[in-house]
Amino acid sequence: MVAALFLTSLRDNGRLAARFCSAPVLRLPVLLLWVAVFGGSLHAPCTTFFYLSVGASQEQVGNISAIISVVSMLTVPLYGHFIDATAGALEAVAAAGFCCALGCAVRAAALSVAWLYAGSLVLGFGAASLLPSVLSHLSSHCAPDEKRKVVAAVAFQTSLLRLDGQSRRCKMLNQYFDRCSLSRLCHDPECTRGTVYHGGPPLTAMLLGAGH
C-alpha cells in the first residue's frame, strides 16, 4: 500500500516536472529555482572556509551571515506586497534571481572581506524571496485544485536536488581535501596546524559561484 502510494506520488511529480519544463511561461522560473537549490547544496559547507581563506575573522564570518539574514527578513515582505499589488510574480522571480546570481558572483570573486560583505548584501535581496516568488508564479498559472499538488511537487523536487547536491559535494570534498588539508585555513600564526591559505581554495570559489 505504502509502496503503491509512493510510486503514484513519483509519477505525479514526474508529470508536473515535465509540465513545468514544457510550458514556456513556467520553464525559466523553475529552472532558476532548481539551479539555485542544487548550487546552494553544493557550496554550503565550504562557504565558511572560503570566507576564512579570503581573510575574514570568525566575527566577520558571523557578520556576513547576519547581513544575508537581516536583508532577507526585510525584503521578503516587500516582494510579497509587490506580487499582491501588481500580480507581478514573474518580475519578482527575475529580481530575486538576478540578486542571487550577482551576489554569488561577487562573493566567488571576492579579494577582500569588503567584497564578501557586498556580495552578501546583494544576495540577501534575493536569497529568501526566490522560492516564494516562484511558487506564486506557478500558482497563478494552475487551476485552484492543483495548487496543493504544485506546492508539494516543488517541495519534493527541491528536496531531491538538495540530496543530490549534497552527495556530489561529499565526493568532491573528499577528493579535494585529500590534496588540501583543512589546517591551511588556521588564522593563528602560533598554531601548529599551519597558516592561512590566502590564495583561496579554487574548488570553494567554483562552488560558491554555483548557487546561493
Predicted model pTM: 0.73
H helices present in the chain, as ranges: 2-22, 24-43, 47-54, 58-86, 89-108, 113-124, 130-139, 147-179, 202-208
Share of the chain above pLDDT 90, in %: 31
pLDDT tens digits for 58-69?
A: 899 999 999 999
Residues 168/203, Cβ–Cβ less than 8 Å: no
Average pLDDT over every residue of 142-155: 85
pLDDT tens digits for 165-200?
A: 777 777 766 666 665 554 455 554 444 443 444 444
- Residue 90, C-alpha cell as written in the block: 514573474
Residues 64/51, Cβ–Cβ less than 8 Å: yes
